[in-house]
């Protein structure tokens, strides 16, 4: 049986540091899907789109970092769940408004579903509205 925990950790680190699909794809199926009930991610339906979205976000928040609070493997269901806190300051170019110098401090959870040793689907649980308010984007 593949070590899905190790694979999920490597993917998580690559995604959260903004390495994009070019790096993250090695941990995923080619057609890996994505879902989130978060307004900021409306229309994002593939993991390729999401990892590239994170790459762009890290450019807008150049001091972005994350802290893992919990990481758990559910072997019978073939998934890994990660809970983290993402922080960053809007000081880089891009985004819906000029840099606000405001900071985001966002709790979020990833549920990474595996097919063999590859992530086939990621669900992100995150309140994007709170994050956008913290950054001064709404």
C-alpha 45/C-alpha 34 separation (Å) is 5
What pLDDT is attached to residue 95?
A: 86
- Number of domain units in the chain: 1
Mean pLDDT (the chain) is 96
How confident is residue 88, by pLDDT bands cut at 50, 70 and 90? very high
Helix count (H) and strand count (E) of the chain? 4, 5
- pLDDT over 90 (residue 71): yes
Which residue range(s) make up the domain with 20? 4-135
Span 77-105, mean pLDDT? 95
The pLDDT, as a whole number, for residue 94 is 85
**Tens digit of each residue's pLDDT (9 = 90 or more) over 24-66:** 999 999 999 999 999 999 999 999 999 999 999 999 999 999 9
Report residue 121 CA to chain centroid gap. Answer: 12
Q: What is the pLDDT of residue 2?
A: 65
Phi and psi at 82, nearest 5°, equal: -125, 130
In CATH, what number is assigned to the domain containing residue 48?
A: 3.10.450.50
Q: What is the pLDDT of residue 77?
A: 96
3-state secondary structure of 84: strand
Is residue 1 pLDDT above 60, yes or no?
no
């Amino acid at each position: 049986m593949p070590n899905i925990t190790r694979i999920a950790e490597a993917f998580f680190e690559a995604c959260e540091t903004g390495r994009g699909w070019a790096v993250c794809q090695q941990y995923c199926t080619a057609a890996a899907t994505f879902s989130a009930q978060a307004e900021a991610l409306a229309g994002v339906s593939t993991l390729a789109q999401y990892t590239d979205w994170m790459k762009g976000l890290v450019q807008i928040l150049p001091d972005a970092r994350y802290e893992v609070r919990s990481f758990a493997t559910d072997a019978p269901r073939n998934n890994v769940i990660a809970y983290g806190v993402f922080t960053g300051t809007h000081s880089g170019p891009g985004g819906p408004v000029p840099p606000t110098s405001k900071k985001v401090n966002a709790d979020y959870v990833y549920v990474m579903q595996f097919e063999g040793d590859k992530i086939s689907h990621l669900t992100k649980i995150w309140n994007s509205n709170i994050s956008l308010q913290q950054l001064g984007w709404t």
